[in-house]
Copies of this chain bind each other. A is one copy, B any other.
Amino acid sequence: MAGSTFGEAFKITTFGESHGVSVGVIVEGVTPGVELDEAYIQVQMDRRKPGQSAVTSPRKEYDVIRIVSGMFEGRTTGTPLCILLDNKDMRPSAYDGMDETFRPGHADYTYLKKYGIRDHRGSGRASGRETAARVAAGAVARKLLEDRGVRVVAYTKEIGGIACRTYQPDEIEKNSVRACDPEAAGWMEDYVKTLVARGDSAGGIVECRISGAAAGLGEPVFDKLDADLAKAMLSVGAVKGIEFGAGFAAAGMLGSEHNDGMNADGFLSNHAGGILGGISTGADIVFRVAVKPTSSISSPQQTVTTQGEERTIRTEGRHDPCICPRVVPVIEAMACLVLEDHYKRQAALHG
Give the contacting residue for A124; candidates B22, B23, B77, B350; CB below 8 A. B77
Partner of A290, one of B21, B243, B344: B243
Give the complex CA separation of A296 and B301 in angstroms.
51
Query: A255 and B293: CB pair below 8 A?
Result: yes
Give per-residue flags for A36-61: 1 if the beta carbon is below 8 A from chain B beta carbons, else 0. 00000000000000000000000000
The answer to whether the Cβ of A252 comes within 8 Å of any Cβ in the partner chain is: yes
Smallest Cβ distance from A233 to chain B, in angstroms?
A: 7
Complex alpha-carbon distance, A130 and B277, angstroms:
12
Protomer copies: 4
Main secondary structure of the interface of A (DSSP, over half): mixed
Interface size range of chain A in the complex: 35 or more
In the assembled complex, A79 has its CB within 8 A of some CB on chain B? yes
Contact of B222 with A235 in the complex, beta carbons under 8 Å: yes
Q: Is the CB–CB distance between A26 and B26 below 8 Å?
A: yes
Q: Which of B255, B275, B308, B309 contacts A295 (CB 8 A)?
A: B255
Q: By the criterion CB–CB under 8 Å, are A254 and B200 in contact?
A: yes
- Min C-beta distance of A210 to chain B, whole Å: 15
- Nearest 3 interchain pairs by C-beta: A347-B351, A107-B277, A3-B219
In angstroms, Cα B319 to Cα A259, docked, is 15
Residue A33 at the chain B interface, CB threshold 8 Å: yes
